[in-house]
Amino acid sequence: MPIDLEALYPKLIHLMLDTVFVVDADNQIVFVSEACEALLGYRAEELTGTPITHYMHPDDLAATRASIIQVMNGQPHFDFRNRYIRKDGSVVHILWAAFWSHEVGARIGVARNVTALTQAEDELRFLAHHDPLTKLHNRALFNTRLESALRAAHRDKHSLALLFLDINDFKGINDVHGHVAGDRVLCAIARRLEGCMRETDTLARMGGDEFTLLLTDIHAEHSVAERVAQILAAMAEPLGPEFGGIRMPSCSIGVACYPSDGEDADTLLSHADGDMYRIKRNRFATG
């Protein structure tokens, strides 16, 4: 006997893992498939007859309204992303395929939960520019920021400072207490350095126990020395009891200023690195 496909369609829609929405010209939900409960936490009967905009993340509302206008003007969307607020208050990231049906007089959309994908993408973007251990900027992003800052300094005729910081005898912490303890100390150092930064500064871990700090918009020579003193004071504070008696290591800080110590990134980095090693040698020669 022939299969009654029209009778099957509603059942097939409710079997879909993605959620099907039908929304009228006034943004009222007139139909939603049963997958909505997994997506938003609401049963279908709770959503039907309510405005779909009620569930949108407020920060995405303007962009979503613009997308709705495009769809209703005959421009289907197959890759629009936004966020919705679930019934329990959590946020879900959704990928939409939607079009306007003149025959039905409604907007038909299929919604897919891409929260896990979005989080993975965000993590990859973060790791591309940050050190995975300390969460500070990495060498690649620091170099980009430095080049940009140098162009701005040259254009606007202002100065900047580059600080190169090395942890003294950090190898001893790894050798005595192990690399896990050493990693915890590096993270503690990163947080202390962050506490010394302004919003316009850039702090990065260059690798190992080396950090760089880019200080822009320097108005006076003494301000660089004051910042170095602030960092040294922060580093002199002992570690908490959770570190099991590990002593906070000291650090050596080399400084290079634009334009007096160089006008390009390589020269400034080389000068700051050399200044740091000079300070380290003097410290061990007198200590």
54-73 confidence digits (pLDDT tens): 999 999 999 999 999 999 99
Q: Where are the domains of the chain?
A: 5-119, 130-286
pLDDT of 241 strictly over 60? yes
Residue 59 is a catalytic residue:
no
**Active site residue: 18, 166, 209, 273, which one?**
209
End-to-end CA distance of the chain: 96
Average pLDDT over all residues of the chain:
92
Dist. CA 91–CA 94, nearest whole Å:
10
Dist. CA 178–CA 41, nearest whole Å:
47
Backbone phi, then psi, for 263, in 5-degree steps? -120, 5
Q: What is the pLDDT of residue 188?
A: 96
The closest of 18, 23, 10 to 36, measured between CA atoms, is 18
pLDDT of 152 strictly over 60? yes
H or E element, residue 187: helix 179-195
Domain 5-119 matching CATH 3.30.450.20: the answer reads yes
Q: What is the pLDDT of residue 228?
A: 93
> Tell me, which fold does domain 130-286 have in CATH?
Alpha-Beta Plaits (3.30.70)
80-90 confidence digits (pLDDT tens): 999 999 999 99
Residues 6+ apart with CB under 8 A from 272: 162, 163, 164, 212, 254, 255, 256, 261
Q: What is the spatial order of strands in the sheet that 251-258 belongs to?
A: 202-207, 210-218, 159-167, 251-258
166-186 confidence digits (pLDDT tens): 999 899 999 999 999 999 999
177-218 confidence digits (pLDDT tens): 999 999 999 999 999 999 999 889 999 999 999 999 999 877
**Crossing angle between the packed helical segments 139-156 and 265-286, to the nearest 10 degrees:** 110
Q: What is the pLDDT of residue 222?
A: 82
Dist. CA 249–CA 168, nearest whole Å:
6
